[in-house]
Amino acid sequence: MENYYNYSLCFIFILILLFLTKQNKSKPKLPPSPSLWTMACNLRALMHAPHSTLAHLARTHGPLLSLRLGHHLTIIASSSITAESILKTNDRDLSGRVIHPSYQYNLRGFIEHSLVWSQPNDQWRKLRRILHSELLGQRMMKAQTWIREKKVVEMVKGLKERKEGEVVDVGQVVFETMLSLFCELVFSCGLEGLGMSGSEFKKDFWRLLELMGMGGFKMEDHVPFLVKLFGGGKRDSDSVEVVVNRVIGSWEGIVSKRRSMGSGSGSDFLDILLGCGLSERQINVLLLDILIAGTDTATTTIEWAMSELIKHPETMSKLNQDLQQVLLQEQEQESHLPQLHYLHACIKETFRLHPPAPLLPHCALESCQLMGYKIPKGCQVIVNTWAIGRDPKVWKDPLEFLQ
Ligand code: HEM
């Protein structure tokens, strides 16, 4: 009898064990992660060049990897298939943003109105709709053609007036042209109408990009004590607040004056925003978002394109031929753009090698599965666009600027 009892217990125990093992096998796991030793060896590189270090780790551990740094779990996607799965297939679950807790306190009144940093809620959808229909939509793009052409003509004229041999800071010239374009579209005035110079704006925008971690991955958010140990960058949320207020302060007088005048007729973007019933804070934060997002991306892309063209004189001369054939002594106009195929190819190649946003920082709003792996709710999900453009499985000579 006792034997029979022992056999039954053993049998039940084996059944439970089998059940648990099966459960564990069928349960999706986290994506593979580098060993602690590998992480320790790469810590310094991760702090200084996160996009290339993460690309290097992906080559050994696969295109979807998980990193646990401090309390935070981060999933990194480094191939076009994993990126598509995050940005398209699972966009609803993975379109959140992670904000470091210390910022949430100091930047109240900023983050919740920001298109870049707020979670995708009703207000975010409303602001995005306004931006896409009233500034970036096809109808508006067509209506604003003359303003963009005017700004380009002014930029070219300014460059032609330079003395031969004079050094030109391409980044500064393009940045000021973009900023002046946005001033015209938003406020119907030139850059001189705002309370700061072009170089002051550029300095503050860069500082904000650095402070807010727009690069997508900041070690100091995960393991602050290690960063202190290695003497890494300092993330001071108070400075973010100071810079945000200084930049917004350069135009907030225009916004409140326009509101008190009872504008809302839709003659420029500010009028449209006032007519949409947005608060002054909402308008100012939205303007900060688009000024930074619109100027920095164009400036870095053109700087990289110019430096690749200087490094590749053959490409430069092919591009010159393309431009001369199409323009035929005419003044450059946007209607010429569809015929400039080689220019398009050069810009695409610049985006491939030097994406203006090398790491896209997202966050899992809900748990979901990605390529058979588990993505837990709340973890950070980063798409490494820099690694995707240089993926040796996709590109023959990934590091070459193809001609
Ligand atoms: C070279 C041109 C540009 C490139 C390559 C570019 C690229 C990007 C990328 C990669 C993102 C992040 C998407 C994500 O996290 O999934 C983004 C977001 C954003 N961009 Fe741009 N962008 C460009 C120009 C502009 C311009 C001209 C504006 C505004 C006038 C703008 C406004 C925004 C805003 C507001 C966001 C955040 C909200 C959102 O995700 O929709 N961008 N951009």
Distance of alpha carbon 209 from alpha carbon 221, whole angstroms = 15
Residue 346 lies in a domain: no
Report whether residue 293 contacts ligand 1, using a CB cutoff of 6 Å. yes
Q: How far is CA 302 from CA 163, 296, 345, 347, in A?
A: 22, 10, 14, 8
Residue 86, C-beta contacts closer than 8 angstroms, at least 6 positions apart: 77, 94, 362, 370, 381, 383
Residue 276 lies in a domain: yes
Residue 132 lies in a domain: yes
Residue 57 lies in a domain: no
Which CATH number does the domain housing residue 151 bear? 1.10.630.10
Distance of alpha carbon 367 from alpha carbon 377, whole angstroms = 4
Report whether residue 298 contacts ligand 1, using a CB cutoff of 6 Å. yes
State the residue for tokens 């890494």: 232
Give me the tens of pLDDT residue by residue for the chain, a chain 403 residues long: 566 666 666 566 555 544 544 555 556 799 999 998 998 898 888 888 899 999 999 999 999 999 987 778 999 999 999 999 999 999 999 999 887 665 555 566 788 889 988 899 999 999 999 999 999 999 999 999 999 999 999 999 999 999 888 999 999 999 999 999 999 999 999 999 998 999 999 999 988 887 776 555 666 666 655 555 554 445 555 578 888 999 999 999 999 999 888 766 668 999 999 999 899 999 999 999 999 999 999 999 999 999 999 999 999 999 999 998 888 767 778 888 899 999 999 999 999 999 999 999 999 999 999 999 999 999 999 999 999 999 999 999 999 998 7
Q: Which residues pair with 362 in a beta bridge?
A: 381
Residue 80 lies in a domain: no
Nearest residue by C-alpha to atom 26 in ligand 1: 294
Residue 256 lies in a domain: yes
Report whether residue 95 contacts ligand 1, using a CB cutoff of 6 Å. no
Burial of 326 (0-12, 13-18, 19+ CB in 10 A): middle
Distance of alpha carbon 343 from alpha carbon 349, whole angstroms = 10
DSSP 294-344: HHHHHHHHHHHHHHHHHH-HHHHHHHHHHHHHHHTTSPP-GGGGGG-HHHH
Q: How many domains does the chain have?
A: 1
Q: Residue 362 CA: which ligand 1 atom is closest?
A: 15
Nearest residue by C-alpha to atom 3 in ligand 1: 297
Nearest residue by C-alpha to atom 12 in ligand 1: 360
- pLDDT for the residue numbered 241: 83
- pLDDT for the residue numbered 345: 96
Amino acid at residue number 162? R
State the residue for tokens 């202190």: 228
Q: Residue 298 CA: which ligand 1 atom is closest?
A: 1
Measured N-to-C along each axis, helices 280-311 and 313-327 cross at an angle, to the nearest 10 degrees, of 110
Judged by DSSP in three states, 64 sits in strand
- pLDDT for the residue numbered 26: 56
Residue 76, C-beta contacts closer than 8 angstroms, at least 6 positions apart: 54, 57, 58, 64, 65, 66, 67, 382, 384
- pLDDT for the residue numbered 21: 45
Q: Which two three-digit tokens encode residue 99?
A: 């904000």
Distance of alpha carbon 178 from alpha carbon 198, whole angstroms = 10
Residue 140 belongs to what domain range? 106-303
Residue 35 lies in a domain: no
Report whether residue 287 contacts ligand 1, using a CB cutoff of 6 Å. no
| Cα–ligand 1 centroid distance for 331 (angstroms) | 30
Distance of alpha carbon 168 from alpha carbon 187, whole angstroms = 28
Amino acid at residue number 188? S
The overall pTM is greater than 0.75: yes
Residue 249 lies in a domain: yes
- pLDDT for the residue numbered 233: 47
